[in-house]
């Protein structure tokens, strides 16, 4: 008797749920009237912009008054490559200068030197693998202070190069060393100018 009652209850419950599911199906397939609108979720994901570059962390150079050119610096080719899909700009934000080993020598921020001054700057490569002979269009490094000096703009996946350039006064001895450490900072830019 109890068994029969239990079976009847199970049957009744299954019928009830099946009717509910039919009802749900009927409403979900209802036609959308012409000119009306349905709801569809569109999921967008913002991909992060990855900046990827290859650049030097140390720039060695030599300066000598014995060079016959206006530019007195022997510089390596400072190549920089933008491996990103966005254009980037490269700035010098600070230059640490230590002239303590050179007696009575001071720094020039402008490229114009008196007899006891040194000026060092950067210049974009004009001819591949050729050190600049002149100082025209050189950008001069300011000693021990903040500076936002753009030196290069690179389009996506582009490579370009800089050279260290410089000059010194007649009174600066060839027989000494000094340290110039520029900090290159790369940032995203809107387009290659």
What is the contact surface with another protein in residues (CB under 8 A)? Answer: 48-62, 64, 66-67, 74-78, 83, 86, 93, 131, 174-177, 181, 183-188
Nearest to 181 by CA among 159, 168, 164, 161: 164
Q: How far is CA 123 from the centre of its chain?
A: 19
Sequence-distant (6+) residues with CB within 8 A of 116 are 104, 105, 106, 169, 171, 172
Kindly state the smallest distance separating residue 150's Cβ from another protein, in Å.
12
Q: Which is nearer to another protein, 23 or 130 (CB)?
A: 130
d(CA 162, CA 140) in angstroms, rounded, equals 13
Q: Which is nearer to another protein, 110 or 179 (CB)?
A: 179
Q: Which is nearer to another protein, 32 or 50 (CB)?
A: 50
Kindly state the smallest distance separating residue 116's Cβ from another protein, in Å.
18
Is the Cβ–Cβ distance between 117 and 168 less than 8 Å?
Answer: yes
Kindly state the smallest distance separating residue 39's Cβ from another protein, in Å.
27
Kindly state the smallest distance separating residue 117's Cβ from another protein, in Å.
18
């Amino acid at each position: 008797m109890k068994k029969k009652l239990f079976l009847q209850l199970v049957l009744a419950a299954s019928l009830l749920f099946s009717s509910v599911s039919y009802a749900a199906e009927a409403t979900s397939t209802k036609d959308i009237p012409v000119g009306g609108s349905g709801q569809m979720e569109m999921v967008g994901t913002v991909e992060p912009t990855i900046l990827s570059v290859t650049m030097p962390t140390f720039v060695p150079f030599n300066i000598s008054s014995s060079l016959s050119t206006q530019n007195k610096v022997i510089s390596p080719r400072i190549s920089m490559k933008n491996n990103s899909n966005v254009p980037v700009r490269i700035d010098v934000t600070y230059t640490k200068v230590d002239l303590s080993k050179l007696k009575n020598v001071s720094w020039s921020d402008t490229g114009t030197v008196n007899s006891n001054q040194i000026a060092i700057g950067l210049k974009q490569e004009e001819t591949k693998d050729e050190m600049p002979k002149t100082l025209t269009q050189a950008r001069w490094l300011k000693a021990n202070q903040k500076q936002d000096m753009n030196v290069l703009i690179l389009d996506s996946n582009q490579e370009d190069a800089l050279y260290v350039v410089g000059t010194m006064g007649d009174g600066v001895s060839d027989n000494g060393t000094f340290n110039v450490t520029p900090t290159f900072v790369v940032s995203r830019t809107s387009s290659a100018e």
